[in-house]
């Protein structure tokens, strides 16, 4: 009973660590935070493994369950990151539209940027640079390192060209906004085309569980074999591993298509 309690605590800890959103990290700090999280998980797995070293069956179940929770946590975290990046891309388009409108109304570039930045606090470094007569394109390029903010490099290029050549910044930003809208529309089409492949992969990954439930309903006892027999434990570990590998492979293929669209 103690072994099962430890396994349950391990799985609950992994789920809480991976599925609970933490405070937003500054640009460039997301990777370090993720590594620290997985380090904590690895330490927890090692500690529970030491306690369960005399109970190999529970140790195997704990490792398999922990791997499943880790995989699910990565999928959930990736979906959240994708949604956050899409929101930031939308803010970049709104930035272009807002700047274009303010400039068309006769405002200076620093004033227009200050007014637009009131709705996007992340732009404050660029706003301070503009107010001090500094290098606004460089400040925008530094902000472009945040997930989903890469299009700020295009805004920085438009700002720099307009500053050097004297051409209207409002017209340049209007063209940039239209190009970004077209790119986002293409991205949505590609994502929609890939959604069916991702859904199929997740359905196939869940089919073994459905088969086990159907077997139990038909009077068989597949759970006793999977959870109690060494061969069943090997089948369980292999099946979970193949399912995780398949999902990871589909996600990798989909992301390659999205990056190369």
**pLDDT value of position 168:** 77
Q: pLDDT by residue (tens digit) across 61-70?
A: 777 777 788 8
C-alpha 86, offset from chain centre:
10
Cα–Cα dist 87/106, whole Å = 29
pLDDT higher than threshold 50 for residue 41:
yes
**Per-residue 3-state assignment (H helix, E strand, C coil) for 193-242:** HHHHHHHHHHHHHHHHHHHHHHHHHCCCCHHHHHHHCHHHHHHHHHHHHH
Sign of CA dihedral 139, 260, 38, 76: positive
Cα–Cα dist 110/168, whole Å = 14
For the beta carbon of residue 146, count every other beta carbon within 10 angstroms: 19
- pLDDT average, residue stretch 88-102: 86
pLDDT higher than threshold 60 for residue 20:
no
Closest CA to 89 of 78, 99, 81: 81
Phi, psi of 46 (to 5 degrees): -65, -40
Closest CA to 18 of 47, 46, 41, 49: 41
Q: pLDDT by residue (tens digit) across 183-221?
A: 888 888 888 888 888 888 888 888 888 888 888 777 777
For the beta carbon of residue 36, count every other beta carbon within 10 angstroms: 10
Phi, psi of 151 (to 5 degrees): -70, -10
Q: Of 26-35, 36-45, 163-172, 226-235, where does mean pLDDT reach its minimum? A: 26-35
Kindly state the tokens that stand for 187: 């991205």
């Amino acid at each position: 009973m103690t072994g099962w309690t430890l396994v349950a605590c391990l799985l609950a800890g992994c789920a809480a660590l991976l599925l609970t959103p933490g405070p937003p990290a500054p640009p460039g700090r997301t990777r370090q935070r993720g590594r620290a999280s997985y380090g904590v998980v690895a330490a927890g797995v090692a500690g529970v493994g030491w306690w369960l070293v005399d109970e190999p069956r529970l140790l195997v179940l704990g490792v398999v369950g922990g791997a499943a929770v880790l995989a699910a946590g990565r999928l959930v975290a990736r979906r959240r990151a994708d949604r956050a990046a899409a929101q930031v891309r939308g803010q970049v388009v709104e930035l272009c539209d807002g700047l274009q409108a303010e400039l068309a109304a006769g405002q200076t570039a620093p004033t227009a940027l200050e007014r637009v930045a009131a709705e996007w606090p992340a732009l404050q470094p660029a706003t301070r640079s503009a107010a001090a007569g500094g290098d606004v394109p460089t400040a925008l390029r530094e902000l472009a390192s945040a997930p989903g903010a890469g299009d700020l490099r295009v805004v920085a290029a438009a700002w720099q060209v307009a500053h050097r050549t004297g051409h209207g910044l409002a017209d340049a930003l209007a063209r940039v906004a239209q190009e970004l809208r077209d790119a986002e529309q293409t991205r949505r089409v590609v994502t929609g085309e890939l959604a069916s492949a991702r859904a199929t992969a997740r359905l196939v990954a869940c089919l073994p569980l459905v088969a086990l439930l159907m077997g139990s309903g038909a009077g068989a006892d597949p759970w006793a074999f999977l959870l109690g027999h060494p061969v069943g434990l090997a089948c369980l570990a292999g099946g979970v591993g193949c399912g995780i590998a398949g999902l990871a492979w589909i996600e990798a293929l989909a992301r390659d298509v999205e990056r190369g669209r």
